Amino acid sequence: MTAAVITALPGLTAGTWTIDPVHSAVTFSVRHLMVSKVRGEFTEFSGQVTIENDGSASVAADIAVGSVTTKNKQRDEHLHSTDFFDAANHPTATFRSTGVRSEGSEVFVDGEFTLRGVTKPVTLSLEFNGVNPGMGQGEVAGFEATTVINRKDFGVNFDAPLENGGAVVGDKVTIILEIEAIKQ
């Protein structure tokens, strides 16, 4: 992490910051029927942000894809299938950072995202919400990170064309991470 990144993340001190799943969310949205978006959430995930004494940073996260919920049981079961996540054969999606950088006032986390056994580079746009002393269990830090992926890059190739053109499910998926992490 460069000095500019450290300046952009004031109060984030050296140590391991563990994601608090009770106060965090891993969500996504994707175009549906060309006119609206379906939103979903993964309810089981874990991860850490590690800040070294030299200011360098790394991020690691695991997501249980079988924990997906879109508030529709039939759709959720379809998402578990080989048409989408293939949860039986690839139960975990992972993110491992390769670098943290700043451009002006913006901070980005570059890394490798693995879904269905396919690993591709992705960049998360990071919003740092600050550090708070917490409520007796240690300091907490807040982050929001977003990225957009093409599902087909990860082997999620399900297509159901519509009569008048387009598809039931869009290719671009927006991933939003709202993270509260506790310093260990």
CATH number at residue 110: 2.40.128.110
Check pLDDT > 80 for residue 10: no
pLDDT digits (tens, 9 = 90+) for 19-46: 999 999 999 999 888 888 999 999 999 9
Which pTM does this prediction carry?
0.92
What is the residue range of 78's domain? 3-183
Report d(CA 164, CA 176) in Å as an integer.
31
Residues 6+ positions from 136 with CB-CB distance below 8 Å: none
Number of domains in the chain: 1
